[in-house]
Amino acid sequence: MASLSRQLAQWVVGLRYQDLPAEVVDRAKGLTLHGLASVLLGSLTPGGQQAVKLITEDETGVRNGATIMVDGARVTKGGAAFANAEMAMAGGKWDTFRMLTHPGTSILPGAFVAAESTGVSGRDFITGLAAGYEVLERLAADFIPTVMSRGFHAGVVFGTFGPAIAAAKMMRLTEDQVNATIALCASLAAGNLEGARSGGRALREGGSVRNAMLAVALARQGHVGGETVLEGDAGFYHAYAGSNTGRLTYSFVGDTHTSFSKITSGLGTDWLFLETLYRIYSTAGYNIAHIDVTAQLCEEHGITYKDVDRIEAVVNWLETQYPSPAFPSRREDLESKPGNTAYYTAYGVVKRGYPLLKAQVDPAGAGDPPEVLDLMKRVKLIPSHAMTLFGPRITIFTKDGKSYTKQSTGREFIWDFDTEARRIREVIPGLPIPAAQFEDIIATCRDLDRQDRADRLIGLTLKKA
């Protein structure tokens, strides 16, 4: 049987826009809009500005490079990808796949570098994006908790593969070159948990996408990466998951073994990409359902803050020990303080939602309603091995002795483009560009499959003189 990387490479090279289901095209458009909103917001943050300053001081004036969004500086392709990814991370409007990966924060910056350098159409951009997401998520899916338990950050480790595949597809690399790209990504993957645990600031997907651009460049020049670099005895999974036989330390569903055949089974038919959620609020992804599901429960039964005695939330156990039970730095089931799950659950009751710009305008939480700070102390999280990710079961006990329960599906934040466009507009007051310009971005993303050049979106992020 062909190696894993070879099977993936064959699928990527053969994928056509016409092969994409309508919902895949729609999700690609929506995630592009979501990611661009995050870049715009992140350009105003200290972290985003630091990244732009770092790259522009070293690289401005490159002749054949790529553009840093919002700023407009022309730098190396790797530099632009890094700066744009760092702004996307700083903006907080990420996507989320299975809790601990945020594919768009690396895939979109890499995809836009490729789109700009090749002048691809919107359809080719969407196809490359879909390929990048699908490969990243299939490689990561069952292995995320195990990789985290070994001290690596799964989002960063797997974040190298997605942008490399997206770029390789848009650059029309051959099967051998795509195979080499995947193998080189295995050598360039990185990301460690200890820095952030010991007072540092983790190097996240910005590093991943910069390495991804290197992998693509090397493969394009003919560098051969190897054939069994993923599943081989000394390969990627042996190194990062501790086993090349599918043995798992932790999993989201309790299994302790998976099969590598799942990575390529149903390629092009069963789209894991469609599991990608919109992390609309700037908080850990496992908190977002607590806001909306609790708010919906209150709306359905006319429950107000004054009615509530206490709240219980049954959740997937891995959501209570972030980032890994092996190295928990945040125990959600033991604490009640601003920024944890109980806090967001209380917000859902008191405010029927959570402001999309709160992280930008009130990062210290000085404007938190006192009702939220009171109610969060009466929220209890109950870890469960049977609950789906991002799918809490919320029960509100009222002071009159009654109780009301709502079970989340885990899919509340999987929606179509029109819903994304409606919800993301709440960030407009915090953007560095006029509202009309952001509306142009929305319209261009909606019609992305009819655009002659996908990189028109880059120009729409630039601040006007």
Give the model confidence (pLDDT) of 221-280 as tens digits: 999 999 999 999 999 999 999 999 999 999 988 889 999 999 999 999 999 999 999 999
How buried is 64 (Cβ within 10 angstroms: 0-12 exposed, 13-18 middle, 19+ buried)? exposed
Asked whether residue 437 is assigned to any structural domain, the reply reads: no
**Same structural domain, 266 and 391:** no
Residue 465, domain member (yes or no) = no
Kindly tell me if the per-residue pLDDT of 139 is higher than 90.
Answer: yes
**Does the structure show a pLDDT above 80 at 291?**
yes
Q: Looking at 264, 279, 294, which one is the last position of a domain?
A: 279
- pLDDT band (50, 70, 90) for residue 95: very high
Residues spanned by the domain of 338: 286-407
Question: CA 373 to CA 377: how far, in whole Å?
Answer: 7
Q: Per the domain annotation, does 293 fall within a domain?
A: yes
pLDDT at 366: 87
Which CATH number goes with the domain that contains 386? Answer: 3.30.1330.120
Domain check: are 121 and 243 in the same one?
yes
Read off the pTM: 0.97
**How many domains does the chain fold into?**
2
Same structural domain for residues 334 and 203? Answer: no
User: Does a structural domain hold residue 246?
Assistant: yes
My answer on whether 168 and 125 are in the same domain is yes
Q: Is the pLDDT of residue 407 over 80?
A: yes
Over 80: is that where the pLDDT of 423 sits?
Answer: yes
Q: Are residues 77 and 224 in the same domain?
A: yes
Task: Please give the Cα distance from 235 to 212 (Å, whole number).
Answer: 18
Residues 24 and 124 in one domain: yes
Among 375, 407, 439, the domain boundary falls at 407
Grouping H, G, I as helix, E, B as strand and the rest as coil, residue 381 is strand
242: left (phi over 0), alpha (psi -120 to 50) or beta: left
pLDDT of residue 365: 85
Report yes or no: 330 and 319 within 8 Å, Cβ to Cβ: no
What's the rounded Cα separation, in Å, for the pair 372 and 355? 14
Which of 249, 279, 309 is at the close of a domain?
279
Q: Are residues 111 and 220 in the same domain?
A: yes
Residues 72 and 204 occupy one common structural domain: yes
Q: What are the helix (H) ranges across 100-158?
A: 104-118, 122-140, 144-149, 154-158
- pLDDT at residue number 215: 98
Nearest to 279 by CA among 410, 102, 442: 102
Q: Verify that 241 and 292 share a domain, yes or no.
A: no
- CATH code at position 247: 1.10.4100.10
Q: What is the mean pLDDT of residues 57-75?
A: 94
- Asked if residues 420 and 38 have their Cβ atoms less than 8 Å apart, the reply is no
